[in-house]
Structure 1
């Protein structure tokens, strides 16, 4: 059954890949007179990992699919091979949030993918087809000290007109606090002590973040952000992709922030240790983003 699905996935994408819309910059495709948004395409593609539906593979351009998950070989064949390695009927996919920023769609998903995991996926579109993919995955953890899971909380996009301002605010926060350690600026990014936290190890409120950082320092555990590689946003939600280290290990940080009234109000994250280059199945890199 799985082999049939993988075959259908590759064949479907090969047949439909050449039928991309001619119009540049479009983010929808007409099927039976209905508009399918890029967000809907991403949600359907991710769900097909669970259901085995082959049709969503047609949303991928098979001739130009660049893979940045370092555990998958490049191209559509690499994606198919990764799915084929899954234990039968094990995959579960629940996409909790999905956002769009220009040619990029980014999703926040609760997976069972070689075990329970929480993931962020980023897809780049050209002419209505997916041409590139990045992700970050972390084993699902128990609720944090404040009772929040890694995915619960609001998902509705608000204040679309504030997207650019919110992206600038979050980028400045990550650069000031996490990259450059300017802790004297920390309070200015928050509304007093009000702050909802979904990191599994950290409690709510700004004071909860401070206590967690102090504990890490007392245990000699360092968390260092070296560089932001991408900032994506839609309305009140902003995702940053950063490179750094955690506990001395080379690490990829994906952080999702919700902004409210010009202040950071809520945070979700996925932290993934980056495997050694000798184990990579493609050479596209974890952080190479098209502009």
Structure 2
């Protein structure tokens, strides 16, 4: 039976938990490029990571999986050197994985004040005919609101009211009001949150994943934001912020982004 690209990616990621090496055949060993800066480049780097994992120490729960052209991207609940949530992006070429990016953060110990965890919520992919439109809408939101700080335009993207926008960040409550309150609170505490460059927007149907670079609390970070859209409005958000280590600590020279 021929597996889809989504199925190949899920099987490979589940192999982190099971130790099953059969999915290694879904990686092109001559072309594999690694953007996780804590892992050495290439197929040998991937195999070294697998061998370093203590047996039975890793758990992998794929919450969502999407496909956009040559890219498959997943939303994950991990136990990977400790409980984490994250996103993985894998580029496919002729049915084989040739490149990998990810973004991970520590998993919160409890739901946020609105009762949501970092990975629960909607999973159904709809509106596949609106994929390009929704990706463009997500890119516009990131550019105008998050990068340029035009918060007066936020209601163009998110309908006001706590019932119209579900937030999965551990520290932010539902609604555009919750987002605005969090931004104001961070400003009062002197905590900076800057989106400086948007590197990629991927999507399938009503979901779009934005990959950005910036600063958070004085640290160089990668922002991965998964948005669910309905009728041209953002109605749900999941996010992961990961600090990018100094270049002296990188185990490969490919950079965190490089799309």
TM norm. shorter chain > 0.5: yes
What's 1:140 paired with? 107
Matched, 1:210 2:180: yes
Displacement after TM superposition at 1:98 (Å): 0.3
Matched, 1:239 2:206: no
The answer on whether the counterparts of 1:121 and 1:136 sit within 8 Å (CA) in structure 2 is: yes
Tell me, in whole angstroms, the C-alpha distance in 2 between the residues paired with 1:96 and 1:266. Answer: 15
Tell me, in whole angstroms, the C-alpha distance in 2 between the residues paired with 1:148 and 1:234. Answer: 23
SS of alignment partner, residue 209 of structure 1: helix
What's 2:191 paired with? 221
What's 2:241 paired with? 271
Displacement after TM superposition at 1:107 (Å): 0.3
Matched, 1:128 2:95: yes
SS of alignment partner, residue 245 of structure 2: coil
Of 272-281 and 191-200, deviating more is 191-200
The answer on whether the counterparts of 2:146 and 2:194 sit within 8 Å (CA) in structure 1 is: yes
Tell me, in whole angstroms, the C-alpha distance in 1 between the residues paired with 2:99 and 2:179. Answer: 34
Displacement after TM superposition at 1:206 (Å): 0.8
Equivalent in 128, 132, 136 of residue 168 of structure 1: 136
In structure 2, stretches of 5+ residues that fail to align are: none
What's 1:66 paired with? 33
TM-score relative to the length of structure 1:
0.87
Tell me, in whole angstroms, the C-alpha distance in 2 between the residues paired with 1:53 and 1:267. Answer: 33
Displacement after TM superposition at 1:154 (Å): 1.0
RMSD: 0.7
Q: What per-residue deviation string (whole Å, max 9, x for no partner) do you get for residues 15-34 of structure 1?
A: xxxxxxxxxxxxxxxxxxx2
Displacement after TM superposition at 1:191 (Å): 2.3
Tell me, in whole angstroms, the C-alpha distance in 1 between the residues paired with 2:210 and 2:25. Answer: 29
Equivalent pairs, count:
256
Bigger radius of gyration, 1 or 2? 1
Tell me, in whole angstroms, the C-alpha distance in 1 between the residues paired with 2:115 and 2:135. Answer: 28
Tell me, in whole angstroms, the C-alpha distance in 1 between the residues paired with 2:206 and 2:157. Answer: 14
Matched, 1:94 2:61: yes
Displacement after TM superposition at 1:76 (Å): 1.1
What's 2:81 paired with? 114
TM-score relative to the length of structure 2:
0.97
SS of alignment partner, residue 220 of structure 1: coil
Displacement after TM superposition at 1:184 (Å): 1.1
SS of alignment partner, residue 88 of structure 1: coil
What's 2:146 paired with? 178
Tell me, in whole angstroms, the C-alpha distance in 1 between the residues paired with 2:242 and 2:158. Answer: 26
Tell me, in whole angstroms, the C-alpha distance in 2 between the residues paired with 1:116 and 1:105. Answer: 23
Equivalent in 188, 193, 211 of residue 156 of structure 2: 188
SS of alignment partner, residue 195 of structure 2: strand
Displacement after TM superposition at 1:233 (Å): 0.2
